[in-house]
Structure 1
Amino acid sequence: MGATEDSVFDQYRDRVERPLGRLFREYGVPEWEYFALGMVANVIARVASLLPPVVLGAAIDSVFTGDSPYDLPLAPAGWFPTTDAAQFELSALLIAGSFVVTAVFTYAYGVAANLFAHRVMHEVRTDSFEKMQNLDMTFFDDKQTGEVMSVLNNDASNLEVFLDNALQNSARLVVMLAGITAILLYENAQLAVVTLTAIPLMVVLTSWFMKRAEPRYERQRAAVGNLNTRLENSLAGVELVKTSAAEEYETERVTDASYRFFQDTMDVLRLSYVYRPGMELLAGISFAVTFGVGGYWLLYGAPAPLTGTLSPGAFVTFIFLTQRFVTPLAEVSNIVDQYENAKASSARVFGLMDVPASVTTAPDATELADVAGRVEYDHVTFGYGDDEDVIRDVSFDADPGDTVALVGPTGAGKSTLCKLLLRMYDVDDGAIRVDGHDVRDVTLDSLREHIGYVSQDTFLFDGTIAENVKYGRFDADRDAVVAAAEAADAHEFIEDLPDGYDTEVGERGVKLSGGQRQRISIARAVLQDPEILVFDEATSDVDTETELRIQESLDELAADRTAVVIAHRLSTVRDADRILVVEGGEVVERGTHDELLDSGGRYADLWGVQAGTLDR
């Protein structure tokens, strides 16, 4: 499923005003030293690069033709020698020196500008990731992983290209245009007006391009997110694809997403195909007109309405500088192209940063300390967004040492009840308390530090088994890791692996079986040593014999802790202190195993089906 235009993320993206200006305010200003150093070095390098044509023109008029005295802009005449030989030597030294200065300060500019660009993008990327980490599960329920990855990778890279390339080229363009314009006006103001006539036309063409390019770039960036989502989903579900013989179907879906991206990209490029050649044409016409008018002026005198004289040296300076004029003007198309691309990307980056988290630590929240483990659900009601309630008026409590089991059909709301305890979501009505503290009144970190959670969807990071067991307790030593694995009945199979606890599990733990991943996940919770344990079908992927061994370990672990257990196999929770039967988001029965069997209700039916004593 692709991203929807009316999602929360897109709404905040559309509200971002002047995204590139915000980028510089929030991230560029703290790095202003590098930016300033780069700009100073850029000015010196560009001004130095303009000196050779000016010196060459002065040498032609003074040394080679003798038509006028040796003269350079902004330099007093008394600074220059009077003999032809000395003026020639000075010209050669100035030209050589200008190339050296240009090279040195271009290097300094490149280093400073790249430091600025990459430091800014480092901060943007890490801040975006930190923001994403702090968003609650509601955001991830709505957004696809591929689209979020597109923001963190593609959009951040676009901004890096803009800061690294377009910004440098823009600065060079400004300095070159200003310097060339000043020199041309100094050499011959009338011919300079002829040369610069193309600039207003370029401004009009650029304004036309920017107005039409912006929405096209936004559609292109959205298409990238959709394509990344489709690729990520297809790769993550490659096993299902293959077992369902659905390779052709997935290929068609990726092809469709890729073709949409192709169409949106071509929509941008078609506009660029008009703009870029148009800019190059105007710049080329400027050069051709300058050459024609200047050459005619030298051969036949000033063409009307121009007046006065034009020296050969000034003409040569005009030709060289106008050629220099053509290149940066032609690059305006690339700069605008990168600018519009970066503008669309920065809006997406800041759109992500502006999405508010609905589950946050309150400013006056307290640390949850000295936890005994009493858990209380007080008339809890919850629904996902605008959907109807999935949990309705649920109440129960559990004291330290108690085990409360949640049973019922798939989709009844059992997992949601557990996630509310960890504040993956916040209740709509009612309250959940730990040791009498509303979970919304304590810090998120301290709440989750005291709850060990094992999901039915086990997840392992790419790394070693030891690293995955230690996740969340990164300072744990090997002995503690081994002890936790033994408690989860994982030590034996780990020892049989080629590298034992240092075995790489692969992305998402793909090198291990489902049962092995589940036992490592349990070991992770054991190592955390929490006061409250939540097991969401924690043994669903293991065989019966292994389940019995794990269950013994879990019973021992939960002996003096509060445990909330979701179970599909009722045999694993028959010894629970309290069993709640959940259907349609409501608790329809509660009691011990024996009490519920004696009542002959829904639990008794479920037990009978699993025990094989009722007709199926």
Structure 2
Amino acid sequence: MVRLFAEYGRENLAWFVVGLLASVLGRLVAIVPALVLGVAIDAVFFRNTAYALPLVPPSWLPTTVSGQFWLSFWLVIGAFVGGVALSWVQGLGLAVYSNRVQHAVRVDTYDALQRLDMAFFDDKQTGQVLSILDGDVRNLRTFLDSTLSGGLQLVVAVVGIAGVLFYLNAQLAVVTLVAVPLLAVFTVWFMRTIRPLYRALRESVGALNTRIENNVSGMEVIKASATEDYETDRVADASMDYYRRALAVVRLDYLYQPSMELLAGVAFAATFAIGGVWLIFGPPAPFTGDLLVGEFVTFLFMTQRFIDPLSGAGRIVNSYENARASGERIFGLADREAVVRDASDAESLDAIDGRIEFDGVSFAYATGREVLRDVSFTAEPGETVALVGPTGAGKSTAAKLLLRLYEPTDGAVRVDGHDVRDVEIRSLREAIGYVSQDVYLFDGTVRENLLYGTFDATEAEMVAAAKAAEAHEFVSRLPEGYDTRIGERGVKLSGGQRQRLSIARAMLQDPRMLVLDEATSAVDTETELLIQRALDRLSAGRTTLVIAHRLSTVRRADTIVVLDEGEVVESGTHDELVELGGLYATLWGVQAGDVSGVSADILARLVERSRAADEADTDRIAADVSADGGEDA
């Protein structure tokens, strides 16, 4: 919480100071009516003491009874009016401050999030991240807006009222304040006990959000599988876990809150009993001196104002611990170090030719599973190089290393002779157009999605790109053309339409290099023809890296690199590789329907490789789950 103020509070410190000063003054002004009432009772109504107010020179006070009465009246009215005005200033100042801090924290946390490595997003659940950016950030705002001022008001009330009580009658003040040390000890115990409960509660919120987010995103699968009841049970389980953790917090809170009220009530009752006896029968032992009626009335009013903030200390502590748990999650995410980041002397990749070189590249995930081993190949400017091979051979991983979504564990990936680790990530990725099988379109219009990343493109350039991508015709038939909203992830469009929009988006970027990752594998034959024509236009004159399972799409590639178990086993043109009769020829035969021409040994090897890849993925997932569990603990 100290870090929250140090990093985000300084820019808006003026609003914070205004809000806190108004809060403090408001609490002090609230003491005035009870104090003035006590003085008026003794000096104006009973006339058994002089009219005097703390910190006010006697020469400023009226000498007549009438003047003293009306001064007391207007002081009480002024205190109430001033309290309302100060409450408004406090609310405005702290609301502006807390919302500005909330905005800055959310934006900075999101910015830090999107700069993390893809490995982070491979492991983290979306709901957990969303709960941090939304719920946890809002908890901090609530703390800054109301809890902080409430805590300060509590301190001011205790100190201010205690001062007034000692000024009026030090002996009776001790009776009233004897509960304060007990309340402090009880509060420390409560804070230590509830802290781990709030941490667990925030985690359960993230798990519940993840479950709901996954189900909403997968609603089509749920309906198609008729598994609504099953998913309702799973949401109910996650919700019940949240309920149990929330109940643990509430159970402790309801032990603490009434106990605080009981202690404060005992202090009030003791004050009333001893003060009443004092007025009726004289000072009880060991008390001495006189107690006036007005002083006693002031004591009762002040004690009540003293009890109210003390009994509310539980809410303040509760909110603080909740915000503290949220702060740990927020800064835990913001402080996470990215492995892939710009070097201190990184250079911009400008005016490139587009030569791509993999030089002895090896890569292993954090779990130790090696995906690529000593992979080497070169794509000259303007050439098309295809990466093919069985599932799990490392094809997509190689493309991600070029985009520098991951770092090689050995060897180097170079562009125009520059190691990609020595150039600015932004300039590298701006030079590469990426079209994948899993197209992501944002919830917005066709226009917004086409211009994404090339925001300054003209209308004519956008339409030309859409035409080249075989997309203009179907876009023109949409209800509002390019201004038609296409839904989350482009759900209102077919797979082929989404793919063509992604190609048009890449065309607008006009990159020197292209990565086409299974860009036509999930569409029908007619749509594949349209997409393939668009891809041919897109790749013309550009260095292109194609990842494909459907080998018919890479027959015309300048070079086909065959990967198997992370190693380059063959390389050449389509005709050369077919004539070679190796793995590529076998895969080509299988896709052509000539399974009978494949030897039993090769088929057995392919099946074994697929099984080995599945086992390796299972081990990696298990290791990731174990690592996540360790982090949560």
Q: Aligned residue for 1:140?
A: 121
Letter of the aligned partner of 2:399 in structure 1?
Answer: C
Q: Structure 1 residue 387: deviation in Å?
A: 2.9
State yes or no: 1:129 paired with 2:110.
Answer: yes
Contact kept, 8 Å, 2:453 with 2:509, in 1: the verdict is yes
Indicate the residue corresponding to 1:232 in structure 2.
Answer: 213
> Higher mean Cα deviation, 75-84 or 571-580?
75-84
**Partner of 1:378 in structure 2?**
359
1:551 aligns with 532
5 Å-filtered alignment, 1:118-517, equals 118-517=99-498
* Equivalent in the alignment of 1:102: 83
- For residues 6-21 of structure 1, the aligned pairs below 5 Å read 20-21=1-2
Query: Match for 2:56 among 67, 75, 78?
Result: 75
* Match among 47, 71, 91 for residue 72 of structure 2: 91
**Alpha-carbon shift at residue 168 of structure 1 (Å):** 1.6
What do the CA deviations read for 1:186-216 (whole angstroms, capped 9, x no partner)? Answer: 0111111100011111011101101101111
Distance 1:614 1:60 in 2: 107
* Structure 1: 5+ residue stretches without partners: 1-19
Distance 2:213 2:530 in 1: 37
Q: Which residue type is aligned with residue 550 of structure 1? A: I
Bigger Cα displacement from structure 2, 99-108 vs 340-349: 99-108
Alignment length (residue pairs): 597
- Alpha-carbon offset, residue 177 of structure 1: 1.4
Looking at structure 2, the residues matched to 179 and 486 of structure 1 have their Cα atoms a distance apart, in angstroms, of: 76
List structure 1 segments (4+ residues) > 6 angstroms apart after TM superposition.
Answer: none
Separation in 1 of the partners of 2:215 and 2:564? 33
Correspondence 1:603 to 2:584: yes
Q: 1:9 maps to what in 2?
A: none
Moved more, 245-254 or 593-602: 245-254
Residue deviations 1:99-147, cap 9 Å, x none?
1221222211111111111111111111101110111101111211110
Shift of residue 180 of structure 1?
A: 0.7
Q: Determine helix, strand or coil for the equivalent of 2:30.
A: helix
Q: d(CA) in 1 for partners of 2:551 and 2:419? A: 31
Check conservation: 1:464, 1:502, Cα contact below 8 A: yes
Cα offset, 1:399, TM superposition: 0.7
Any unmatched runs of 5+ in structure 2?
599-633
Query: Counterpart in 1 of 2:6?
Result: 25
Q: Deviations over 1:545-590 (max 9, x none)?
A: 2322332332233221100011222111100000111222222211
What is residue 35 of structure 1 aligned with on the other side? 16
What is the identity, as a one-letter code, of the residue corresponding to 1:544? Answer: T
Cα deviation digits, residues 504-553 of structure 1 (max 9, x gap) = 01011111111111111111111110000110011223322232233233
Counterpart of 1:399 in structure 2: which amino acid?
E
> Distance in 2 between the 1:56 and 1:332 partners?
27
Report whether the alignment pairs 1:584 with 2:556.
no
**Structure 1 Cα separation of the partners of residues 594 and 464 of structure 2:** 40
> 2:434, 2:516 within 8 Å by CA — same for their partners in 1?
yes
Residues 452-501 of structure 1, C-alpha deviations (whole Å, 9 max, x = no match)? 00111110000001111111001112211111111111111111111111
Q: Secondary structure at the match of 2:357?
A: strand
- TM-score w.r.t. structure 2 length? 0.93
SS of equivalent to 2:366:
coil
Deviations 1:61-108 (A, max 9, x none): 111001000011111222211211111011111111111221222211
CA distance in 2, matches of 1:247, 1:551: 39
Greater mean deviation of Cα atoms: 545-554 or 82-91: 545-554
Indicate conservation of the 8 Å contact 2:503/2:534, yes or no. Answer: no
Cα RMSD after superposing both structures: 1.2
**After alignment, is 188-197 or 35-44 more displaced?**
35-44
Q: Which residue of 2 aligns with 1:115?
A: 96
Q: Distance in 2 between matches of 1:342 and 1:401?
A: 55
Q: TM-score, normalised by structure 1?
A: 0.95
SS at match of 2:84: helix
Q: Secondary structure at the match of 1:391?
A: strand
Answer yes or no: is 1:63 the counterpart of 2:44. yes
Contact 1:173 1:328 survives alignment (8 Å): yes
Instruction: Tell me the CA shift for residue 152 of structure 1.
Output: 0.4
Identity %: 57
Give SS of 1:603's match: helix
- Per-residue CA shift, 1:327-359, capped at 9, x if unaligned? 111110000000111111100000001110000
CA contact (8 A) 2:578 2:584 kept: yes
Which of 523, 527, 537 is matched with 2:518 structurally? 537
3-state SS of paired residue (1:23): helix
For residues 234-289 of structure 1, what are the alpha-carbon distances to aligned partners after superposition, in whole Å with 9 as ceiling and x for unaligned? 22112222222222322222222111111111111111111011011111111111
Distance 1:340 1:565 in 2: 52
CA distance in 1, matches of 2:231, 2:401: 35
Q: 1:221 corresponds to which letter in structure 2?
A: R
SS in 2 for 1:71: coil
- Verify the 8 A CA contact 1:194 1:290 in the aligned structure 2: yes
Corresponding residue for residue 609 of structure 2: none
The reply to whether residue 563 of structure 1 matches residue 544 of structure 2 is: yes
Q: Structure 2: how far apart are the matches of 1:361 and 1:174?
A: 48
DSSP-derived class of the 2:283 partner: coil
**What amino acid maps onto 2:576 in structure 1?**
E
User: Following TM superposition, by how much is the alpha carbon of 1:614 offset from its aligned partner in structure 2, in angstroms?
Assistant: 3.4
Contact persistence 2:191–2:317 (CA under 8 A):
yes
- How far the C-alpha of 1:400 sits from its partner, in A, is 1.0
Q: Which letter maps to 1:52?
A: P
One-letter amino acid of the structure 1 residue matched with residue 283 of structure 2: A
> 2:503, 2:538 within 8 Å by CA — same for their partners in 1?
no
For the residues of structure 2 that align with 1:459 and 1:156, how far apart are their CA atoms? 27
Quick check: 1:487–1:550 contact (8 Å CA) kept in 2? no
Q: Give, as a single letter, the amino acid of the residue that structure 1 aligns with 2:139.
A: N
State whether residues 450 and 502 of structure 2, in contact with CA within 8 Å, keep that contact through their aligned partners in structure 1.
Answer: yes
Give the conservation status (yes or no) of the 8 Å contact 1:58–1:72.
yes
Instruction: Quote the residue 2:616 is aligned against.
Output: none
SS at match of 1:355: coil
